[in-house]
């Protein structure tokens, strides 16, 4: 199953935007709740009707990656029950979006009815920048952010969802923002969930290489569409005297709207 978005774009002249169910990943809920608030700020600015299904839990990606298929399948069933009737599902994480869209059908392959339900829901789940650019057809939000900004391409975002230009399309339309492309933009930051725990020294070396590239580019901020990647990079940058800061794309746009 291709993970590239096949959903039709929502034209701005076609009436009200779709109702959006917010899919908030664990890292946002537990560690970076400001990303969730900023996601709401941007989507409300665009006129989206939002709802937060309170029964949602982890999508099951950590269990799936660790080989606990039965536990991951139980979380998948909960997700499908919770979001099954949603018109559009938006998530501020490329990796969690990839889990639902790409790996749920694999988890459910022994049950044809469940696999069909997983595919139906997967067709309606979007990563944040993908939703704005591909579904709503919007790249201009009227934001301003006068800083030098680099983009880190998260592995799931780039290699599973095949999304690279969508964040950049949004950033190019932010007034005062200078988009800086670094040589290591597509290189893994070293997080990889349990990889960073099981192979800590390798993980830290990978993050250090990313930090080196950001500092060499003399950027003010690095942005990404995965909170976990930003936490990994921020951990290395915090131990350095440099000026580079991390900021999720939704937070950058929300700040830009506030200052516009």
pTM of the model: 0.91
Structure tokens at 75: 């979380």
Q: State the architecture of 148-259 in CATH terms.
A: 3-Layer(aba) Sandwich (3.40)
The CA angle 37-40-46, to the nearest 5 degrees, is 150
pLDDT the model gives residue 131: 97
Residue ranges per structural domain of the chain: 19-135, 148-259
Radius of gyration over every alpha carbon of the chain, rounded to an integer in angstroms = 18
For residue 31, how many C-alpha atoms fall within 13 Å in the half-sphere facing its CB? Answer: 11
Q: Which helix (H) or strand (E) holds 91?
A: strand 88-91
**Per-residue pLDDT tens over the stretch 135-161:** 999 999 999 999 999 999 999 999 999
Determine the distance from the C-alpha atom of residue 110 to the mean position of all C-alpha atoms in its chain, rounded to a whole number. Answer: 29
**Per-residue pLDDT tens over the stretch 80-138:** 999 999 999 999 999 999 999 999 999 999 999 999 999 999 999 999 999 999 999 99
Contact 53, 83 (CB under 8 A): yes
pLDDT the model gives residue 11: 45
**Per-residue pLDDT tens over the stretch 175-187:** 999 999 998 898 9
**Per-residue pLDDT tens over the stretch 80-95:** 999 999 999 999 999 9
pLDDT band at 196 (very low <50, low <70, confident <90, very high): low
- pLDDT(6) > 50: no
**Alpha-carbon gap, residue 245 to 53, rounded angstroms:** 32
Segment 218-244 shows an average pLDDT of 93
Determine the distance from the C-alpha atom of residue 240 to the mean position of all C-alpha atoms in its chain, rounded to a whole number. Answer: 26
- pLDDT(162) > 70: yes
């Amino acid at each position: 199953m291709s993970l590239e978005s096949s959903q039709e774009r929502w034209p701005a002249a076609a009436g009200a935007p779709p109702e959006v169910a917010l899919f908030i990943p664990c890292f946002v809920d537990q560690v970076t709740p400001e990303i969730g608030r900023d996601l709401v700020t941007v989507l409300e600015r665009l006129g989206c009707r939002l709802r937060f299904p309170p029964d949602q839990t982890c999508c099951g990606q950590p269990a799936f990656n660790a080989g606990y298929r039965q536990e991951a399948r139980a979380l998948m069933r909960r997700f499908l029950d919770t979001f099954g009737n949603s018109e559009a599902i938006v998530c501020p994480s490329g990796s969690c979006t990839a889990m639902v869209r790409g790996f749920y059908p694999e988890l459910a392959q022994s049950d044809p009815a469940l696999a069909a339900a997983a595919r139906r829901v997967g067709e309606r789940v979007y990563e944040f920048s993908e939703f704005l650019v591909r579904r709503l057809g919007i790249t201009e939000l009227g934001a301003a952010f006068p800083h030098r900004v680099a983009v880190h391409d998260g592995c799931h975002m780039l290699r599973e969802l095949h999304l690279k230009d969508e964040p950049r399309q949004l950033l190019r339309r932010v007034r005062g923002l200078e988009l800086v492309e670094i040589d290591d933009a597509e290189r893994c930051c070293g997080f990889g969930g349990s990889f960073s725990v099981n192979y800590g020294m390798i993980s830290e070396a990978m993050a250090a290489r990313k930090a080196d590239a950001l500092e060499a580019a003399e950027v003010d901020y690095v942005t990404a569409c995965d909170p976990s990647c930003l936490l990994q990079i921020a951990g290395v940058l915090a131990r350095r005297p440099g000026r580079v800061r991390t900021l999720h794309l939704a937070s950058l746009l929300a700040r830009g709207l506030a200052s516009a």
